[in-house]
Amino acid sequence: VRHFGLSRSSEALKRATDVIGASLALLVLLPLLLILAAAVKLSSRGPVLFAQKRIGRNGEVFEMLKFRSMVVGADSVKETLRARNEAEGGLFKINEDPRVTRVGRLMRRISLDELPQLLNVLRGEMSLVGPRPLVPDEDALIEGWQRRRLAVKPGMTGLWQIFGSARIPMQEMVKIDYLYGANWSIWLDVKILLRTIPYVLGRRGQ
């Protein structure tokens, strides 16, 4: 395992890849994004986009964007569903979440609700590939050397995604994030992106 973190040249290369990749993806996917936005707007009351506070690089809080896939006020009833949580180690995941709308359920099957995060990538808050972006209450459970994962920008996808994010306990996930930051290369990012496509299309993340 190499020294943890990215050099300045590696950070510049990764940022350039993010900007080019996210820009091209937004251009190619624009018709789909407009269709999804219309479907969300017409199917249920509330805004098209949902912004959720996440912990980014160096512990900075940012608002991660998604197409809204839940009813308005979903976060306010999260604790009432805690007993139905199917994830381990501090993460929260319910396969049949009653807060999810019909259109939201369709989008989530192949992670289409995540596409607005391309804007987070362009804004420099996220990377195409990186550690999983945690909500504040999940991040508060991470201590000691594992917090070094925050030296790398969180990603739209990562090793945590292709290994099955819903099935990995959080303590194991942060170790995977650490190994990603310690062994980063542009080719590792390329391999993760290529593996993410069949993973998502196969719906194994649900």
pLDDT digits 0-9 by tens, 42-88? 988 899 999 999 999 999 999 999 999 988 776 666 666 665 665 55
The pTM is what?
0.85
- What is the model's pLDDT at position 98? 75
How many Cα atoms occupy the beta-carbon half-sphere of 155 within 13 Å?
28
CA-to-CA separations, 142 to 55, 92, 93, 134, 139, in angstroms, rounded: 12, 15, 18, 10, 5
d(CA 107, CA 144): 36
Helix H or strand E segment including 54: strand 49-55
Task: Tell me the per-residue pLDDT of 103-152, one tens digit each, with 9 for 90 and over.
Answer: 998 998 889 999 999 999 999 999 999 999 999 988 998 888 888 889 99
**Residue 127 near residue 18 (C-beta atoms within 8 A):** yes
Mean pLDDT of 31-42: 96
Q: Residue 15 pLDDT > 60, yes or no? A: yes
- More confidently predicted of 89 and 189: 189
Give which of 180, 148, 145 is closest to 14, Cα–Cα.
Answer: 180
Strand-pair partners of 53: 63
- Residue 1 has a pLDDT of 44
Q: Are strands 49-55 and 61-67 parallel, antiparallel or unpaired?
A: antiparallel
Work out the mean pLDDT of the chain and round it to a whole number: 86
> What confidence category does residue 99 fall into, taking pLDDT thresholds of 50, 70 and 90?
confident
**Residues 160-196 pLDDT 10s:** 888 766 667 778 888 888 889 888 999 999 999 999 9
Max CA pair span of the chain: 50
**Does 37 or 172 have the greater pLDDT score?**
37
- Summarize the chain as % helix, strand, coil (round to 5): 55, 10, 35
